Structure 1
Amino acid sequence: MSFRAKFALILLSATLALYTVVGGWISTRAQQPANDPNAQLRIFESVLQHIQNDYVDEPNMEKVRAGALRGLAYGLDPYSTYLTPDQVREYSGTGKDNQVGIGAEMSQVASYLYVIAPMKGSPADQAGVRAGDIIEYIDGKATRDISLYDAKQLLNGPAGSEVKLRILRANSRPLTLAVKRGSSRAAAAESRMEAGKIGLLRINNLADGEAAEARSRLQELIKQGAQKVVLDLRGTAGGSLGEAVAVANLFIKEGTIAQTTGREGKTLKTFTADPKATIFSGPIIALIDAGTSGAAEVVASALLERNRSQLVGEKSFGAGAEQQLFTLRGGDGLLLTTVKWATASGKPFLGEDRAHSGVTPSVEVKRPEVAEAIDPEDLTGNDDDPVGRPTQPNEKPEVTVAPNVAKPVVEDVQMKKALELLRESKPTPMQRAA
């Protein structure tokens, strides 16, 4: 890259973070096509000139550059971010190695830190963190408008140390939860038999090695006489694409299971079923909810698009992407999403916005015992609504939640619906336990 090109790139990034500060001035001039790089560069050069010539103090251009790069990545998706040199070393495995988290899959929605789902049995789960919670403060530090990567760093710390979370939850005053950090490994797959020769297979996670565990559990169900299966993917977040394909292949004998896509939706790789890996061809119903994301969405969408299963429950979250680290001259870096996971038909799970993300169930059933999650986009700053506005770290009234409080037993209406649908279906002859 020529010196002129490098300088132009720095100019572009160095002014983007301050775009909103001079937004009114820019809006009168930004009539050029939005994606014309030359037009945008002229705007950025003008803004940079004003910063250098008109800002009240002598600007620290290194800080301006770092802030601008954060802003540049922040406008892309929750998983793309700017990394400092220390963060680059940590990401590359040469930094801190004694840090653990709280065991929850998270994303960012409308600039808020959003809990997709806590891992079953994790410190977050034991402390009472729920899917759909908004973490507003971490140890008194606001999470709004910082990157997802930075928020996760605030959550990490030495094993056994405590982190206090300020939580926004629907129909509730702000909550404070104390969570002890610790290593987390999600529970393995679970299975049991129901009346009517129906097997229940619960997938708690899709980390490396879990597809083999799911296969083993499914084989046990078949040996016990299961002719129909409920596949429970609710609250199953994160995981490996390869493991997801392997789980889907247990039920899908042929055809495309999933794809990965790149720039402009170009198909990068197609994952196809291996007939030899399929061990169950009977009727299936899969359960999904807003805590279903990533690898579990691959499984659910494959079953739906290959006409192997209806999906019962609620729309999934919408995640599944891969990032690549681009190291910069100063040792810092850009972590950019370069690959998206997609359904067999090519629809990415991570869409342009929430409305275009996730997998929609064929039969929508909401669980009345689960509070409707706050929509972060509705947090508009209404002073009359303690949930509908940002709060201060020590603002009262506030509720402190005791961990491990027993929950009342209520009917699982989503499971009930799945069992009803399966009992109405006819079993097919072929399923094998080996």
Structure 2
Amino acid sequence: MKKLSLLAAGAVIGAGITTLTLEQRLPGLGSAVAAGVDTYRQLNLFGDVFERIRSDYVEEPDEPALIEAAVNGMLTSLDPHSSYMNAKSYQDMQVQTKGEFGGLGIEVTMEEGVVKVVTPIDDTPAAKAGIRAGDLITAIDGTDVKGLTLNEAVDKMRGPINSSITLTVARGTDKPFDVKIVRDVIKMQSVRYEVKDDVGYIRISQFTAQTFDGLKTSIDKISAAVPEDKLKGYVLDLRNDPGGLLDQAIAVSDAFLDQGEIVSTRGRHDGDTRRYAAKAGELVGDKPVIVLINGGSASASEIVAGALQDHRRATILGTRSFGKGSVQTIIPLGSNGAIRLTTARYYTPSGNSIQAKGIHPDIEVLQDLPEDLKDQVTETKGEASLKGHLKSETEGTEGSGSQAYVPPDPKNDKQLNLALDLLRGLQANAAFPPKGDDPVAN
């Protein structure tokens, strides 16, 4: 309530109503008050500019839109992942994290004024239309996206079910081309599984509220299909998984761990530190696990990979992950929507932050590119390439991006096929690190 009162006071002062300054109210309180006075002077500046726009702009401005733009500008200046959500955007976000929403089925971010595809979601209109991770969307239905906020661009891509939309896509050095997509209800099946003879394959495409339940169901069905003495192990595929809910990442990690820390989050103040530990009992017993990651694996998927790697519970195979090592908290603002605010960094059990660095695989495997892709950019630049990103806490360690291509035909998937061969003992079992004691934070 105090914060709201201070903001209201700033708005009143900015509106030009006469009032005592803080120096007059609280004389002699020293530098702390002086710093507060400077802040209120800046709030006065905002009020002065706002009043000038209201009175003198060439057309009558939309005042709520002005304030919304100012708030969003303040948040987006912090880092690429903090933003303001109006009431509609907040509602859309809540629907999406529940695992069912309307749209095209792509995870996007804003880069250099255009919309960049982080990853298309499996089995959605965007994925079926051939949209790829790293594609740049430069126009929507012929309207240039430059000048739009990310939320405005996303709103334009949403619409009635069965309605069509045309995206103009820039891919590598190719000439931009149009892709027509028909909107649909995106029923987010975040987990799917497949029994590959004697190996259980589990793919997690995003961490929604349904992810852990889907993982448990998949493990149960694999166990029922393959006798325990015949099951060689599990492949957990987190490639091009953009992340999602922190609690689901913790629950998924816990499914493969019997004890020890999974992840810790550390905010600005010492009291903000939180540690999350595994509970006794693995869902897969002692079966070997290989986790697949690549340049499109971000956030929650990096938490899982980092936890299993640090505890030497799984072999991590593929290419370096995206490097998003920050936690966003959704703070509701009543009828005014919510803010998405970066409030902490997360750390793997050994105490390492992967912010702007990523998880490095135990076994690096690059995919063979088909001829039509060899001259195109197939790497993600990663978190380190995003303007205004939180810097790595270790000098000189920021990553430069890694390959994010996954062949559509599993027969051509070198990463998956090597994982299957390793689990079946067709290649050196030395790839599997022995389980060890809990890692020590450094």
What corresponds to 2:392 in structure 1? none
Q: 1:412 — aligned with what?
A: 413
- Choose which of 319, 325, 328 in structure 1 pairs with 2:331: 325
Secondary structure of the residue that 1:259 maps to in structure 2?
strand
Contact 1:79–1:148 at 8 Å: present in 2 too? no
Alpha carbons of structure 1 residues 313 and 408: separation in structure 2 relative to 1, 3 Å: closer
Summarize the Cα distance change of 1:140–1:340 in structure 2 as closer, same or farther, 3 Å threshold.
farther
Instruction: Measure, in 2, the Cα distance between the counterparts of 1:153 and 1:259.
Output: 34
The residue type paired with residue 291 of structure 2 is A
Aligned to 2:56: 57
Which residue identity is paired with 2:152? Answer: D
Contact 1:137–1:167 at 8 Å: present in 2 too? yes
In structure 2, do the counterparts of structure 1 residues 2 and 246 end up closer, same or farther at CA, with 3 Å as the change threshold? closer
Question: 1:186 and 2:192 equivalent?
Answer: no
Match of 1:234 among 219, 230, 239: 239
* Matched ranges for 1:196-345 at <5 A: 198-207=199-208, 208=210, 209-219=213-223, 220-221=225-226, 223=228, 225-264=230-269, 268-319=273-324, 321-327=327-333, 331-337=335-341, 339-340=343-344, 342=346, 343-345=348-350
| More off after superposition, 124-133 vs 274-283 | 274-283
Indicate conservation of the 8 Å contact 1:170/1:373, yes or no: no
Unaligned runs of 5+ in 2: 16-34, 388-406, 436-442
**What amino acid is the match of 2:322?**
F
- Structure 1: where are the runs of 5+ without partners? 15-35, 381-405
Q: 2:155 aligns with which of 153, 156, 166?
A: 153
Tell me the residue number matched to 2:399: none
2-side partners of 1:50 and 1:187: how far apart?
46
How far apart are residue 421 of structure 1 and its match?
A: 5.0
Scaled by the length of structure 1, the TM-score of the pair is: 0.70
User: Aligned pair in 2 of structure 1 residues 174, 50: CA closer, same or farther (>3 Å)?
Assistant: same
Contact 2:11 2:43 in 1 (8 A): no
Residue 191 of structure 1 aligns to which amino acid in structure 2? Answer: E
- The whole-number CA distance in structure 1 between the counterparts of 2:386 and 2:255 is 43
Are the counterparts in 2 of residues 240 and 295 from structure 1 also a CA contact under 8 Å? yes
CA contact 2:194–2:202 (8 Å) conserved in 1: yes
Inter-CA distance 375–237: structure 2 relative to 1 (3 Å threshold): closer
* Aligned CA-pair RMSD: 4.3
The counterpart of 1:70, out of the listed 63, 69, 72, is 72
**Identical-pair percentage:** 25
Report the CA distance shift for 1:6/1:257 in structure 2 as closer, same or farther (over 3 A): closer
Counterparts of 1:312 and 1:3, CA distance in 2: 49
- Say how many residue pairs are matched: 374
Report the 3-state secondary structure (helix = DSSP H, G, I; strand = E; otherwise coil) of the residue aligned with 1:324.
strand
Kindly indicate whether the alpha-carbon contact (under 8 Å) linking 2:14 and 2:47 is maintained by their aligned counterparts in 1.
Answer: no
2-structure distance, mates of 1:79, 1:11: 30
1:256 Cα deviation after fit: 1.1
Is the alpha carbon distance of 1:218 and 1:305 closer, same or farther for their aligned partners in structure 2, counting shifts above 3 Å? farther
Q: 2:215 is matched by which residue type in structure 1?
A: A
1:218-248 per-residue CA deviation (whole Å, 9 max, x = no partner) reads: 5245636123433222123334433333332
Give the partner amino acid of 1:123: P
Indicate if the aligned counterparts of 2:111 and 2:386 stay in contact, CA closer than 8 A: no
